[in-house]
C-alpha cells in the first residue's frame, strides 16, 4: 500500500481538504462550510467522515497523517486559540479531538506557516534554506524559514509579521493596536488606502462609482494597469510600505527570497515591480540586492491543501 496524507485548510468560511501523495500530487479533494459547524465536536465528525470517504475511493492508499492549516493555530500544542474569525471560542484542542476519531499523527499550524511549508517541499523554495512567505489577503500572514526550519518560537505563534508596527499611531488594527503592517499591506489595506485617497484627490476615477463594500484589490489592480491615477497611487503607497516591512524582515533574518502569496499578490507585476523598486531604494546597505521577491511556485487553487500536506509530510520524515 502506498502512503498518503490528508491536507486540511480551515478558513473562517470554508474548509478545504484533500489527499496528497509524497510527490505533492493532490489525488482528490473536497470542501464544506466551516460555518455549518458552530460546535467543534461536530466539525471534527464532519471532517473525519469526509477524509474517510476520500480514502474509501482510493483503496490502494493508507493514511499516514493529517496536516492542518488554521487561523490562530499553535503548532506546539495542536490547538486553535481564541480565533476571532471562527465560531469556536477559547482554546480548542483540535489535534487531540481528531486523533480520537482517526488515530494517525496530526499537526496543526497557522495557514501562512502551511503556505511556507508548501513552498519549501513542493513549490519555489525547494532548494532554499532561508526564505519568508507573506500571505497578502484579508490580513497579512507570514511563514519564516531559517536554516531549513520553520520558526515557531517559544510560544508557537512566531512569525506574526502582519502585526509589526510600520506607522506608529497609524491605522487601527483588528488586534487592538495601531499602525500594524497588515492594515496597509494586505488586500484590505489597499482598499483602505483607496478610500483615503478618494477623499484627498480630485481626479476623475471609476473608483468613485464603486460602493465601498464592493471595492476589491483585484478591481484596484485592474484599474492601476489602465493607469487610473488613484489606483496607481494606492498601489505605489502599498508597495512602499510593503517594501519597508520586507526590509524590517530581511535585516532580521537575511532570507534568500520573499514569496508573496494571496489575493493582493495576484496583482502580479503591478505590485511586484514597485515593491522591488522601493525595497532597493530604501534597503539597508548590507542587504542591497540580496533578496529575490517572487510569486508563489504553488497554484492558488490547491495551495492551501498542499501546504497543510507538506507540513505533515515534513514531520513524518523526521
- Contact positions vs Zn ion (CB under 5 A): 163, 173, 175, 177, 180
Coil, strand or helix at 30: strand
Whole-number minimum distance, CB 140 to Zn ion, in Å?
A: 9
Grid cell 513542493 in the structure block, residue: 122
Would you give the distance in Å from CA 64 to the centre of its chain?
A: 25
| Nearest CA among 75, 73, 50, 74 for reference residue 63 | 50
Q: Is the dihedral of CA 102, 107, 109, 113 positive or negative?
A: negative
In whole angstroms, give the CA distance from residue 118 to residue 309: 8
* Residue among 28 and 85 whose Cβ is closer to Zn ion: 85
Query: Which lies closer to Zn ion via its Cβ, residue 25 or residue 177?
Result: 177
Q: Which is nearer to Zn ion, 82 or 149 (CB)?
A: 82
Determine contact, residues 6/66, Cβ cutoff 8 Å: yes
Minimum CB separation from Zn ion for residue 165, in Å? 8
Q: How far is the CB of 54 from Zn ion (least distance, A)?
A: 37
* Cα–Cα distance, 118 to 312 (Å, whole number): 10
Q: How far is the CB of 178 from Zn ion (least distance, A)?
A: 8
Comparison of 16 and 187: residue with beta carbon closer to Zn ion: 187
Written as nine digits, the cell of 238 is: 502599498
Q: In sequence order, what DSSP letters do the residues of 102-117 get, joined into one string?
A: S-S-EEEE-HHHHHHH
Min dist CB 80 to Zn ion, Å, is 19
Residue 186 vs 283, nearer CB to Zn ion = 186
Amino acid at each position: 500500500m502506498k502512503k498518503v496524507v490528508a491536507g486540511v485548510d480551515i478558513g473562517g468560511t470554508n474548509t478545504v481538504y484533500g489527499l496528497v501523495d509524497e510527490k505533492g500530487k493532490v489525488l482528490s479533494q473536497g470542501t464544506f462550510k466551516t460555518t455549518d459547524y458552530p460546535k467543534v465536536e461536530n466539525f471534527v465528525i464532519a471532517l473525519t467522515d469526509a477524509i474517510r470517504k476520500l480514502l474509501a475511493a482510493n483503496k490502494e492508499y493508507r493514511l499516514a497523517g493529517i496536516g492542518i492549516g488554521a487561523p490562530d493555530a499553535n503548532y506546539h500544542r495542536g490547538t486553535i486559540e481564541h480565533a476571532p474569525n471562527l465560531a469556536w471560542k477559547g482554546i480548542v484542542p483540535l489535534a487531540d479531538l481528531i486523533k480520537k476519531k482517526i488515530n494517525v499523527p496530526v499537526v496543526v499550524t497557522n495557514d501562512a506557516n502551511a503556505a511556507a511549508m508548501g513552498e519549501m517541499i513542493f513549490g519555489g523554495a525547494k532548494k532554499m534554506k532561508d526564505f519568508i512567505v507573506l500571505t497578502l489577503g484579508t490580513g497579512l500572514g507570514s511563514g519564516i524559514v531559517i536554516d531549513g526550519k520553520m520558526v515557531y518560537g517559544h510560544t508557537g505563534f512566531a512569525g506574526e509579521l502582519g502585526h509589526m508596527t510600520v506607522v506608529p499611531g497609524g491605522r487601527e488594527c483588528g488586534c487592538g493596536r495601531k499602525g500594524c503592517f497588515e492594515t496597509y499591506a494586505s488586500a484590505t489595506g489597499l482598499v483602505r488606502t483607496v478610500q483615503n485617497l478618494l477623499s484627498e484627490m480630485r481626479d476623475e476615477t471609476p473608483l468613485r462609482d464603486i460602493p465601498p463594500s464592493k471595492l476589491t484589490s483585484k478591481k484596484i489592480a485592474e484599474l492601476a494597469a489602465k493607469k487610473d491615477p488613484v489606483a496607481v497611487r494606492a498601489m505605489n503607497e502599498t508597495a512602499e510600505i510593503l517594501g519597508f516591512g520586507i526590509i524590517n524582515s530581511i535585516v532580521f533574518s537575511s532570507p534568500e527570497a520573499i514569496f508573496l502569496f494571496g489575493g493582493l499578490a495576484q496583482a502580479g507585476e503591478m505590485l511586484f515591480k514597485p515593491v522591488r523598486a522601493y525595497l532597493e531604494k530604501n534597503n539597508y546597505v548590507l542587504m542591497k540586492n540580496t533578496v529575490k521577491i517572487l510569486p508563489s511556485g504553488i497554484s492558488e487553487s490547491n495551495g492551501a491543501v498542499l501546504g497543510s500536506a507538506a507540513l505533515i509530510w515534513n514531520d513524518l520524515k523526521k
